[in-house]
Amino acid sequence: MVVSNALDREVKRVPQGPRERTRQLMLDTASRLVQEGQTPSVTEVAEAAGVSRATAYRAFPSQAALVEAVVDHGLGPILQWESDATDAEARVLNLLETSMPRIFEFEATFKAGLKLSLEQWAQRQTGQEITEPPFRRGHRVELLQRAIAPLRKELPRADFIRLARALSLVYGLEVLIVLKDIWGLKLRELQAVTTWAGRALVRSAIAEVQTAAANGERGGRSAEK
């Protein structure tokens, strides 16, 4: 079994051209500020980077666009994750082992994204006009379905989707908040919990379908159609 870990293959590309170099400077500056605990506006990043506001807004037309770029920059190698393994359990464990250290390292970055998302949600709930475009989240949906791809034919579609959704509960920033901030776990302890839970969920989904087949029952007993 060969497992490819994108963290070991991260390569920084040298920006080409003034516009791209300015954008990279803005992104690097914003990433630094976010890692220091701030959620900066485009203007604040422009001032810190020594870039004019007009130039800054051409690179990032809104705070949402800026934070989204910073989050994607932090995710970087996670988004490029791939595995040659044909076993879904091995793939899920590798994704967890690859991702959680990165999420742990860039905790402030991902929390800034969560903060902006919650602020926009609160504005919508109170009927406030939101001039910023919505901050996008949801990379885990595609990543987790990619991880359990070998089970597409083995599990009914409803059970496949249910498993991906269940795995999302043990993957990402939210599980870091629960296990690190609430339980006080270190990275190694946190990883032990997430890998145990991930393994249990995959095995349970497979065992349920196998049991149903042995009993002559129809698979896909979850509500999703």
Coil, strand, or helix at residue 10?
coil
CB-based contacts of 40, cutoff 8 Å, min separation 6 = 30, 33, 34, 48, 63, 66
E-strand ranges in 38-87 read none
* Alpha carbon distance 99, 106 (integer Å): 11
Flag whether 155 is in a domain. Answer: yes
> Mean pLDDT for the chain?
88
Q: Provide the domain count of the chain.
A: 1
CATH of the domain at 94: 1.10.357.10
Flag whether 219 is in a domain. Answer: no
Residue 164 CB-density burial (10 A; 0-12 exposed, 13-18 middle, 19+ buried): buried
- For the stretch 124-175, pLDDT in tens is 899 888 777 777 777 899 999 999 999 999 999 999 999 999 999 999 999 9
* Alpha carbon distance 81, 61 (integer Å): 29
What pLDDT is recorded for position 219?
Answer: 52
Flag whether 135 is in a domain. Answer: yes
Q: How far is CA 140 from CA 24, 53, 77, 121, 219, in A?
A: 25, 33, 13, 20, 26
- Percent of the chain scoring above 90 in pLDDT: 68
Flag whether 1 is in a domain. Answer: no
What pLDDT is recorded for position 19?
Answer: 87
Region of poorest pLDDT, from 7-16, 44-53, 183-192, 193-202: 7-16
Name which residue leads in pLDDT, 213 or 135.
213
* Alpha carbon distance 216, 98 (integer Å): 39
- For range 96-120, the mean pLDDT: 92
Flag whether 168 is in a domain. Answer: yes
- For range 25-42, the mean pLDDT: 93
Asked if residue 9 has pLDDT above 90, the reply is: no
Flag whether 223 is in a domain. Answer: no
Can you give the residue range of the structural domain that contains 18? 6-214
- For the stretch 174-212, pLDDT in tens is 999 999 999 999 999 999 999 999 999 999 999 999 998
Report yes or no: 110 and 181 within 8 Å, Cβ to Cβ: no
Flag whether 154 is in a domain. Answer: yes
What pLDDT is recorded for position 188?
Answer: 97
Flag whether 108 is in a domain. Answer: yes
